[in-house]
Structure formats: C-alpha cells, structure tokens
Amino acid sequence: MADVTITRTGLPAEAGQVSSLQRLMRRKSTIAFIMTLPLLLVIFTLVAYPAFYSLHLATLNKSMVRFVGLGNFEFLFGRETFWLVVYQSCLFAVTAVIFKAIIGFTVAHFVHNIPSKGQRKWRGMLLVPWVIPPAMSTLAWLWLFDPSYSAFNWLLAHVGVAPVSWTGNTHWARFSVILVNIWVGAPFFMIMYLAALKSVPEQLYEASEIDGANWWQRIWYITLPMMRNIISITALFSLIVTFANFDIVRVLTGGGPLDSTHLFATWAFRVGIESGDIPLGACVSLFMVPILAVAATLILRDIGKRGNEA
C-alpha cells in the first residue's frame, strides 16, 4: 500500500529521497515485525505447532512407530470409560457454569446494592477464591471432605444428619467436584458482572422507575439486555476453562471413584502420561477441540460486536 503511494508522489527529481523514504517505511515495518517476533515464536512453536502435532500423534500406535489412522478413535469409541468421560465433562461444565453464572450475578447485585464505600471491602473478600492457586485451595476442600475427619460431617452430625462420603461415592464425588469448581469460578463472574453493572447508566433505571417498572422488570428489561454481551463472553470463557479443567479433579478425586469424575484433561493425563500411551492421550484431549472451537468463535463474535458498539 504505502509503496504505491510513494511511487505516485515521486517526481523524477526527488528519486533519491523517495528511495530513502521507502527504506524508512521498510524499516518501520521491520521494527514492528521484530517487536512481534518473540510473540510469534511463542505462539507458533509452543502453541500452534503442538496443537497440530497432537493431531499427528493421535494417529500413531502406542509405541509411536506405526501409523494406525483412526484406530485410536475407534478404540476409544469402544470403551465405556470414554463415554463416561464425555458425559462427565459435559455435565460438569454445564452445571458448574450455570451455577457460577447465577451465583456470580446474585452476589454482584448484592454488592452493587450496598453503599459504595463498603463495596470495595466486600468485593475484596469475595474474590479470594479466585486468587488462591486452585491446586492449593482444592487441598483445603479435600481436607474438608476427608473421609474420617470431615469438618462438614462434624457439622452435619450436630444437626443429626448421617456422615456423607464426599469423595468416595459416585454422586457425591461429582457433586463435590462441581461444588469446588463453582467456589473457584463464581467470584470471577461476580467481578465481571459488577463491572458491567457499573457501566449501565443510572438514568436508565431512573427513567424506568418513572415508567413504573418494578425491580424484576428493571433487571429483565434493562440490566440483562445491557449486560448481555459481558454475560455471554464471561460464560463462554468460563465454559472453556471449566471444560478443560484439570487441577480440581486431579487433586480432589484423581478421577475416582471408579473413573466417575474423570474429565477429558485428567483422563488424558492418566492415559497419556501415567500409562505411557501418548497417542491415546493426545486422542482423548483432542475431543475437547470441538467445544472449545465453538465457544472461541462465539467469544470472538461477541468481542467484535462490543467493539462496534463502542
């Protein structure tokens, strides 16, 4: 583009200066390219290349010497555990994201409701679960769920409820894993919603109040539509993170009991790293791609839309 402009400007008499400008322009884009080079290096060698490499890996046999085509996939489709993992990953992600969204929205509303000088303090406290490294905080939950010394069961005993096997029983283990995930993720929703709530102009509420809207109508007709974009970006983002989660399940249940809490990530780790079948592990983790791709596309669309609104 720039080059075309210059050649048109260039009168023969100033030929020398034109080429010096060309050199300058070239230098500017060269500088820009050099400045982005490390970024490109990281993205291509450590993200893009491995992503495509795992496609290749997934077509090899266990010792990675023979091409088996879709053999690994066929093998997976024939295994009951695989379908269990598919079911659990979806259940886990959808349930956790819905509850995170609801709790986050509710808490954000309560924080938004109180006088603004107290808001900072509450916001600060309520975000703590998001700040603690999940592997560490899940250890605390593991201890709260401990089979013999569970502090929850101690409380339940006081109200006359029989002890719960938090991580030992299939249903309770799933419940616990989802609970911890909600605990970690809800504050993130809260913060995003709070930021969005603050960006809704106060006049809209005043106008609707004059129009006779009650609090529920205000939320439904003003708050939610105004925040729709942030809500969907946050939810999609959380869907990706939850669906691809590793830390919580790994620390809390290790996938058990009887593989009933394994997700794609934890099962891929078990199969690929711990059992040494790298191609099969790669194959398992690739099953995350479709959902991730859909979510990522939607996020990009929403972010683009937000750009246009501004």
Partner 1 sequence: MAQVTLQKIVKTFDRTEAVRGIDLDIADREFVVLVGPSGCGKTTTLRMIAGLEEITAGEIRIGGRLVNDVPPKDRDIAMVFQNYALYPHMSVFDNMSFGLKLRKVAKEEIKERVEAAAGILSIMELLDRRPRQLSGGQRQRVAMGRAIVRHPQVFLFDEPLSNLDAKLRVQMRTEIKKVHQRVQTTTVYVTHDQIEAMTLADRVVVMNGGRIEQVGTPNELYNHPNTRFVAGFIGSPAMNFIPCRVDAHGSGLKVKVADLPDLPVPAERAERYRPQVGRELLLGLRPEHIKESRGPLGPGISEIQARIEVVEPMGMETMVYFPVGGIDVCGRVAPEAGGRAGSAMPLAVDMNQMHLIDPATDRVV
Partner 2 sequence: MADTALATGAPTRALKYGSIAKDRRWALRLSYFFLTLFAIFFLMPPIYMFITSLKTSAEISAETNPWWVFNPTLANYIELLTQDTYLIFFRNSAMVSVIVVTISMLISVFAAFALARMRFWGSTLLATGVFLTYLIPETLLFIPLFKMMAMVRDATGIELMNNWWTMIILYPTLTVPFCTWIMIGYFASIPKELDEAALIDGATWIQTLTKIFIPVALPGIIAATIFAFTVSWAQFLYPLAFTTSTDQLVLPVGIITTLIKGDVFNWGQIMTGALLGAAPPLIIYAFLMDYYIAGLTAGATKG
- Residue 233 sits in the site that holds partner 2 (CB under 8 A): yes
Cβ nearer to partner 2, comparing 107 with 178: 107
Q: Could you tell me the end-to-end alpha-carbon distance of the chain, in angstroms, rounded to an integer?
A: 28
Among 3, 15, 17, 48, binds partner 1 (CB under 8 A): 17
Asked if 248 contacts 174 with a C-beta cutoff of 8 angstroms, the reply is: no
Asked if 92 contacts 174 with a C-beta cutoff of 8 angstroms, the reply is: yes
Among 3, 15, 20, 258, binds partner 1 (CB under 8 A): 20
* Structure tokens that stand for 228 in this block: 């729709």
- Residue 21 sits in the site that holds partner 1 (CB under 8 A): yes
Q: What is the CA radius of gyration of the chain?
A: 26
For residue 7, the minimal CB distance to partner 1 (Å) is: 11
Asked if 196 contacts 109 with a C-beta cutoff of 8 angstroms, the reply is: no
Among 7, 12, 24, 125, binds partner 1 (CB under 8 A): 24
- Residue 8 sits in the site that holds partner 1 (CB under 8 A): yes
- Residue 140 sits in the site that holds partner 2 (CB under 8 A): yes
Cβ nearer to partner 1, comparing 22 with 95: 22
Q: Which does 68 bind (CB under 5 to 8 A by kind): partner 1, partner 2, none?
A: none
Q: How far apart are CA 267 and CA 265, in angstroms?
A: 6
For residue 292, which of 249, 243, 247, 246 has the smallest C-alpha distance?
Answer: 243
Cβ nearer to partner 1, comparing 21 with 103: 21
47-76 residues in contact with partner 2 (CB under 8 A) are 47-51, 53-54, 57, 64
Q: Which does 285 bind (CB under 5 to 8 A by kind): partner 1, partner 2, none?
A: partner 2
How many CA within 13 A on the CB side of residue 81?
Answer: 17
Asked if 275 contacts 191 with a C-beta cutoff of 8 angstroms, the reply is: no
Interacting residues toward partner 1 by CB under 8 A: 2, 5-6, 8-9, 14, 17-18, 20-21, 24
